[in-house]
Amino acid sequence: MDLKKQIESLSNIDNLYKQDFLLSWEKSESELGFILEIAAILKKMRERNISPRVFDSGLAVSIFRDNSTRTRFSYASAANLLGLAVQDMDETKSQIAHGETVRETANMISFLSDFIGIRDDMFLGEGNKYMREVASALDDGFKQGVLPQRPGIINLQCDMDHPTQAMADLLHLKEYYGSLSALKGKKIVMSWAYSPSYGKPLSVPQGIIALMTRFGMEVELCHPEGYGLIPEIVEIAKTNARNCGGSFKVSNSMEDSMKNADIVYPKSWAPFHIMQQRTELLKNSDKNGLQDLEKVCLENNAKFKSWEYNQAKMNLTKDKNALYLHCLPADISGVSCKEGEVSADVFEKYRTQTYIEAGFKPYIIAAMMFANKFEHPQLMLKSLVEKNTKRFMEHG
């Protein structure tokens, strides 16, 4: 579609304006689709060397309480794409260790900030709660006249959801199959897979089952007995499937789940009850307890080394060629570990596709920023395309 026509076809959605993006299931299907469309337009603009810069100055603050490569650089890329400078907040170099409160920190970093991106997935029951604490402090700071504007907050991964990842995955599927409507009836399997490490967050599988059930897909969550997710989020997926014309089921056989699958997402995670125990140990700084828990978990994981996605399992999928998804980095058997989530030959077959999948994340984040900042994003996008400012000079 022509870029201008694509912008003109955007829905008139303004209820994302000045709204944080904390959980995907708090947004309607039309709002989620709106984000996808803006992301696709921003991507096309960059490909056509049209600058989408809408900020002359300002900060996008990032708070990463866990390690990150893709999301960290995606957030920085998205902010820079729109003209914002990025300032990463290193909590070890702040006054937080000296008792600075969340309310104070949130205000002190926000005087000239437009966005705050937060990754807090280490503590079950705490990550999304912390984001809302920051949001409340910003609301108060703006109301009291401390802040000239209220920065938007973007969830860069919490204990419940990883919305920028799941939305990037959804945009990848939309582009791969041609439209969101083409996803209806497609079977996607979100499967646990073996990993030689423990403590991987629940947010990716939870984000996937909660999002993909919104678009009429046949979603199957597969894991060994005892490796369940947060029960309330599994219930959200069930409700979504009933409301959106798809299906949702939970199974305990990787081989059976792969039968006739269109899309597979083999990914390790720690069981819900283990994450509950781990959270308490982390809160109490119980190093010995954490070591004991890790030993028990790794011993239990080792019982399921057969939960590797390989050629034999791929042969069970539709046309023996289901699209493979992963948030990366994958535990690749014989490459990044001795035994892992996926065999080297299968991963190599889909490696480029996983990189393409990851490449949508900066645009998803930029779209979330865009929809938050402008009451009528389509008018601003139209203006940018008509202005046609070049991102870089192609000729002297």
Q: Averaged in consecutive runs of 10 residues, what is the pLDDT profile of the chain (396 residues)?
A: 89 89 97 97 97 97 93 98 96 68 95 97 93 98 98 98 98 97 98 93 97 98 97 98 97 98 97 93 92 94 97 98 97 97 98 98 98 95 96 80
Res 98: pLDDT: 56
Q: Domains of the chain, with CATH numbers?
A: 3-161+362-387 (3.40.50.1370), 163-358 (3.40.50.1370)
Res 229: pLDDT: 98
Res 358: pLDDT: 98
Q: Among 325, 393, 387, which residue's Cα sits nearest to residue 7?
A: 387
- Distance, in Å, from the CA atom of 201 to the CA atom of 82, rounded to the nearest integer, reads 30
Q: Residue 147, class by beta-carbon neighbours within 10 Å (0-12 exposed, 13-18 middle, 19+ buried)? A: buried
Take residue 306 and report the two structure tokens written for it.
């057969």
Taking CB atoms within 8 Å and a gap of at least 24, the contacts of 382-389 are: 382/4, 382/7, 382/8, 384/45, 384/50, 384/51, 384/52, 384/54, 385/3, 385/4, 385/7, 385/45, 385/50, 388/50, 389/50, 389/51, 389/53
> Which segments within the chain are labelled E, that is strand?
59-64, 85-88, 113-120, 152-158, 187-191, 218-222, 247-251, 263-266, 323-324, 332-333, 342-343
Res 185: pLDDT: 97
90, 92, 93, 138, 266 from 98: Cα distances, Å? 14, 10, 10, 21, 42
- DSSP code at position 160: S
- Length of the chain counted residue by residue: 396
